[in-house]
Amino acid sequence: MDMVFSSLLFLFRFLPIVLILYFLFPKKARNAVLFFSSLVFYAWGEPVYISLMLFSTIVDYIHGRMVESYKRRGEEKKAKLVVLSSVIINLSLLCTFKYLKIFPLPIGISFYTFQTMSYTIDVYRGDAKVQKNLLSFGAYVAMFPQLIAGPIVQYKTIAQQLEKRKETVEDFSLGIRYFIIGLGKKVLYANNIGLLWEEISQKTAGEIPVVMAWIGIIAYALQIYFDFSGYSDMAVGLGKMFGFHFSMNFNYPYRSKSITEFWRRWHISLGTWFKEYVYIPLGGNRKGLLKQIRNIAIVWLLTGVWHGASLNFLLWGIFYGILLIIEKMFLLKWLEKAPNWIGHFYASLMILCGWVLFAFEDMQKGWQYFKILFLGNFSGFINQETIYLFLNYSVLLILACLASVGFFQEKNFLFEKLPFSKKKKNISKETLIGKMGRGILQNIGYIGILLGAVAYLVDSSYNPFLYFRF
């Protein structure tokens, strides 16, 4: 069984032990502690694939050293060939395990291969200095907080943190809060909503009326958001506990008024990676509209393929590529002038359509689901089971919808916006008392979320992780 953040094994055994060891060792040895503990984390469920990660780590470490050496000697062509070699090796690993499907898919391979490629490219571009310490580089590649689901961390963003980082009580406290919020998203929202989607998606097309189909795909949209963003929040929180500062991977994407905006808010690290290492090198938006359209099409074909080898992922990428091209050509300007509700409705509808493509690897079932959504079937518009499911899950769905657009943070309901602002000087006693009271309420809220999540994990065996397959 693989170790995941939302497991009792991780929460009460692995993480406490690693934290104790990490802070017991001197600063110079902490990267080594992080590296070896990450290998244990990775090998827990799939020990055979530890050799694959070590291979990737050593190969790209050597490639980085070679690039730096050739650049220093002015041998540009040789440096380029080494970068090309790194890209080919990493993509070959990814294709062999992810697309040929000869072997089971190793967890996190889509993420750490992209990270190691970015390292070699960053060194070649001069955006980052070469890492000469193999253990420090290994800590970057294998770092368990963001290994299995990202965010994708570019080497240049944490190069300095690998060598000089300062662990503080404030960061550790903030990290715990991020982690608890992420755990709550995953366990209390995603897992419970996932039960609704699982029940609906396993039915035959003839058993699903129109309203049930819409409830189902909304449930899936909420499940995948809270599942993935929850893991990303936990990763950011864990990073802070160890002194690292990872970028946030989600920014309330369901608030978007266009698909362009949606992809600036969803899986931000993946979008940034493709922008910096594919879109801009192809010319970005600098060489006219036609080439810009070409570049968008290439990026989204690759984005679809990155998610999996099935035809539905390719079509999903093409679907979003077409929408983004249409928005780039004319639709975005029109949406900016239109009332906000039109943009929200359009974006929400397209996003839900995208999730239908994404959810069904069996294209026949996906097409049948589309037909029910927009054309209906002989099951009719609504039935008694639909009403039962809605009433049973209505409170959860409403709370999840509100949380997914940041309603509770906007209303300052228990939680301030993270990261927390520093205390102002010269505040009055009354203000201080008010802040202390709010702080107590917030801490009670965090403790409640943690206890609720743990209780769920103790009592339930349903704890899927959707992004394992990517």
The DSSP result for 336-395, as a single string, is HHS-HHHHHHHHHHHHHHHHHHHH-SSHHHHHHHHHHHHH--TT-S--HHHHHHHHHHHH
Following DSSP, what letter does each residue of 10-38 receive, concatenated?
IIIIIHHHHHHHHHHS-GGGHHHHHHHHH
Q: Distance of CA 464 to CAs 227, 308, 387, Å?
A: 9, 18, 26
| Chain centroid to CA 79 | 32
Burial (Cβ within 10 Å: 0-12, 13-18, ≥19) of residue 375:
exposed
Q: Residue 33: name the closest of 108, 131, 143 by CA.
A: 143
Q: Is 267 a catalytic residue?
A: no
Question: Cα separations (Å) of 93 from 5, 96, 171, 412?
Answer: 26, 5, 36, 46
CA atoms 404, 409, 410, 413: torsion sign: positive
Residue 38 contacts by C-beta under 8 Å, 6 or more apart in sequence?
Answer: 138, 139, 142, 143, 144, 147
C-alpha 295, offset from chain centre:
24
Exposed / middle / buried, residue 225 (Cβ in 10 Å: 0-12, 13-18, 19+): buried
Catalytic residue among 63, 245, 307, 344: 307
Dig out the tokens for 120 from the structure: 């070699």
Q: Please list, in sequence order, all residues whose beta carbon lies within 8 angstroms of the beta carbon of residue 122, skipping any fewer than 6 positions away.
A: 128, 154, 155, 156
Q: What separation, in Å, do the N-terminal and C-terminal C-alpha atoms of the chain show? A: 17
CA distance 167 to 243: 4
Q: How far apart are CA 127 and CA 281, in angstroms?
A: 15
Q: How many residues make up the chain in this entry?
A: 470
Q: Give 405: exposed, middle or buried? Use CB within 10 Å, 0-12, 13-18, 19+.
A: middle
Q: Which residues are catalytic?
A: 307
